[in-house]
Structure formats: structure tokens, C-alpha cells
């Protein structure tokens, strides 16, 4: 029996679409049953049979890969970014299977479920995934995009998709982007700013999905105020241990604030220090004697002195300061 994509999401994610599913209980039961085979009507064009496959924990990293057009940036997936599902997965294993397609050599490409895949790798748990043959690129993209409704994309990931739409000519400008994406122009602007930032900078954070528009705007201003040489110097600082692992703080929000402070300090340190203006010289005798004072220091400039006057002035200074 073919089911609609929204109903499949309910089964896989344990969330019922109340407009389509009969009840939340039915959706939860279907997910917990983990049927060995399901039939899915993909994008309303073709009915495809998916079989449930269990990939051993030791084989997940090598046997599976993530669809190249998946909007989710895989390098952002770490233990803190995945903490919403890691705890349950470690205790009870994977609750809802992912969706993928077969590749050559018995390999599997994950279309929906890259967060679950990485969580299984980190937790060293078996990976459950519904896999089908004959999924073309169009249907693969459809399944991948539908899945992103479960966990919202970060501003960076949304910005990458928006920038691609602009580059392809799908929309004319940010105003039209806002209408198509059903969001504010301010959000579009923030997302595009995020997409313009280098991955190395964003990977300094524990969870890029937690970065709001104000932080993104601040980072964009900081980064693009640097010269090319200064940007290269900043990039070099990101080599090695991620910044978020080096700060002394706990909790994603606190770590995020600390990382932002570190990045601000780094950017500030890379900028040349502006030379402080020298205090103006004050004439005592025009053309012959002037001085400059800064705090408790004073410098005197004397000209056209004979030996007798020079000796007398130096002796006076010595007598006053000795």
C-alpha cells in the first residue's frame, strides 16, 4: 500500500501530520513497528519499495554516505549539535529509521537521516535505514528536502540554498527570495550573510544551528573588515582543536558566547594598531625653544645653544631632578 511522504515522515520521525494522518497513535505505532518493507509514493510520481536495513555500528562510517545535495552541512554535526538525539540513542538505540538508496558495491546513500547517521557513528550504535533501488536524482533531492522539516536548517544552510536560487536565476533579488521562502527580508539578509562566511569560522562553534541573526551579522562585519592577509592569519588560528572545545564553559549557549568573544579578540589583534597622534609642540621662544608634554613626561627641543648655555641648562635640570 502506497503512503504519502507526509505520512512517511510521521512514521520515521514519530510526528503525525494532523492534516493527513488518522491519529498520532497510528503514526507512533507504525514507527515503532519498523515494518520490514514499505511502499512509498515519491513526489507523487512513482511508488517505490523500501526495505529496512540494519547497518552494524562498525560499518556505518564506511558503508554509508550522505547525499551530496543534502542541504545539511555535515561538518557541523558534533556531539553538542546532536545532543537532542544522542542521549536517547545511546540509551535505547535508534528509534526511527532513516531513508536512503542503494549504490554500487552494497553501499548506501542517506537521503533523509544524516543527523541520525552521525549520531550512530558517535554513539557506536547500529544504524537503521529504509533503502530502495532505482531512486533517481530528482526523487533523491525531494526525499532529502522533505526531511529537513524535522530539524530546521541553520542560517548558514538556508543561506546556501538561497544563494543557489539567486545564482541559478530562480529569483531576481532578496525581496523575491523572501516571498518564495515565506520569511522576512531580514532573515534572508542574515542567511545570505551566514552563507558568505567561511566554514572554518563557523566550525569554531559547538552548534551552528544555534547562531541567531544578530551573531551572524556581527561575525560578517568582523570577518569582512579584515584584509586578505588578515583573513589568512585568522584561518590559520582555526587549525587543530575546534575553538568551542578550548573554552571554559558548559552548555551550548554559554560556549557560543565565549567563542564569539574569542573570535572578536582574534580579529581585533590582527588589525594594525592605530598610531596615537603626537602631542603638539608648544613654543617657548619661537625658533629656539619648544616642548611637548604627555602625562608626566616632557620633551624639550632647544636650538642655537652655545656651550655655556647648554651646560647651565643641563646643570639646572640635574639639580631639579636629582
Crossing angle for the helix pair 185-196 and 174-181, to the nearest 10 degrees: 110
| Closest by CA position to 157, among listed 220, 70, 252 | 70
Closest CA to 189 of 200, 205, 173: 173
Quick: pLDDT tens for 235-282: 999 998 999 999 988 889 999 999 999 999 999 999 887 667 777 888
The CA distance from 14 to 24, in Å, is 8
Query: By CB neighbour count within 10 A (0-12 exposed, 13-18 middle, 19+ buried), where does 229 fall?
Result: exposed
pLDDT for the residue numbered 22: 35
Residue reference for cell 545564482:
167
For 290-307, b/e burial (b = at least 16 CB within 10 A) is beeeeeeeeeeeeeeeee
129-168 pLDDT, tens digit each: 999 998 888 888 888 876 655 677 899 999 999 999 999 9
> With 70 as the cut, is the pLDDT of residue 18 above it?
no
Convert the pLDDT of each residue in 67-119 to its tens digit. Answer: 988 888 899 999 999 988 898 888 888 888 899 999 988 999 999 899 999 99
- HSE at residue 315, side-chain half, CA atoms within 13 A, is 6
Dihedral sign for Cα 222, 228, 234, 240, please.
positive
Judge contact between 248 and 186, C-beta under 8 A: no
pLDDT beyond 60 at 5: no
Nearest to 98 by CA among 13, 215, 205: 13
Joined grid coordinates for residue 220: 560578517
Query: What is the model's pLDDT at position 16?
Result: 37
Q: Is 282 left (phi over 0), alpha (psi -120 to 50) or beta?
A: beta
pLDDT tens, position by position, 190-247: 999 999 999 999 999 999 988 999 999 999 999 999 999 999 999 999 998 999 999 9
Averaged confidence pLDDT in the chain: 84
Q: How far apart are CA 192 and CA 177, in angstroms?
A: 11
- pLDDT, tens digit, for every residue of 21-65? 233 343 344 444 566 777 766 766 677 888 899 999 999 999 999
- pLDDT, residue 295, reads 78
For residue 301, the cross-strand partners are: 290
pLDDT at 176: 93
Give every CB contact of residue 16 below 8 A, 6+ residues apart in sequence: 10, 23, 24, 26, 27, 28
Predicted local confidence at residue 20, as pLDDT = 32
pTM for this prediction: 0.66
**Dmax of the chain from CA atoms?**
114
Please return the burial class of 270, using the count of CB atoms within 10 Å of its CB with bins 0-12, 13-18 and 19+.
middle
Q: Could you give the 3-state DSSP secondary structure of residue 167?
A: helix
Amino acid at each position: 500500500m502506497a503512503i504519502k511522504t507526509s505520512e512517511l515522515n510521521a512514521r520515521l520521525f514519530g510526528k503525525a501530520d494532523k492534516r493527513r494522518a488518522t491519529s498520532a497513535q497510528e503514526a507512533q505505532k507504525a514507527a515503532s513497528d519498523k515494518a520490514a518493507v514499505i511502499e512509498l509514493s515519491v513526489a507523487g510520481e512513482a511508488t517505490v519499495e523500501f526495505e529496512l536495513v540494519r547497518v552494524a555500528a562498525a560499518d556505518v562510517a564506511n558503508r554509508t554516505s550522505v547525499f551530496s545535495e543534502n542541504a545539511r552541512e555535515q561538518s557541523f554535526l558534533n556531539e553538542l549539535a546532536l545532543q537532542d538525539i544522542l542521549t536517547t540513542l545511546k540509551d535505547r538505540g535508534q528509534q526511527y529509521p532513516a531513508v536512503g538508496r542503494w549504490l554500487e558495491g552494497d553501499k548506501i546513500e542517506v537521503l533523509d537521516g544524516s543527523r541520525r547517521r552521525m549520531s550512530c557513528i558517535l554513539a557506536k550504535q547500529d544504524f537503521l535505514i529504509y533503502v530502495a533501488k532505482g531512486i533517481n536524482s530528482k526523487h533523491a533531492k525531494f526525499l532529502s528536502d522533505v526531511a529537513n522539516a524535522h530539524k530546521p536548517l541553520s542560517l548558514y544552510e538556508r543561506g546556501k540554498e538561497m544563494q543557489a536560487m539567486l545564482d541559478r536565476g530562480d529569483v531576481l533579488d532578496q525581496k523575491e527570495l523572501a516571498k518564495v521562502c515565506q520569511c522576512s527580508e531580514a532573515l534572508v539578509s542574515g542567511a545570505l550573510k551566514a552563507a558568505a562566511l567561511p566554514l572554518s569560522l563557523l566550525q569554531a562553534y559547538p552548534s551552528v544551528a544555534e547562531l541567531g541573526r544578530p551573531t551572524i551579522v556581527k561575525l560578517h562585519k568582523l570577518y569582512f573588515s579584515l584584509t586578505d592577509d588578515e583573513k589568512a592569519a585568522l584561518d590559520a588560528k582555526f587549525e587543530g582543536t575546534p575553538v568551542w572545545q578550548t573554552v571554559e564553559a558548559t552548555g551550548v549557549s554559554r560556549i557560543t558566547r565565549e567563542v564569539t568573544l574569542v573570535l572578536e579578540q582574534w580579529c581585533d589583534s590582527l588589525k594594525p594598531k592605530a598610531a596615537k597622534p603626537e602631542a603638539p609642540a608648544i613654543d617657548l621662544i619661537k625658533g629656539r625653544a619648544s616642548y611637548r608634554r604627555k602625562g608626566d613626561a616632557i620633551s624639550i627641543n632647544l636650538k642655537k645653544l652655545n656651550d655655556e648655555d647648554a651646560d647651565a641648562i643641563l646643570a639646572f635640570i640635574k639639580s631639579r631632578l636629582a
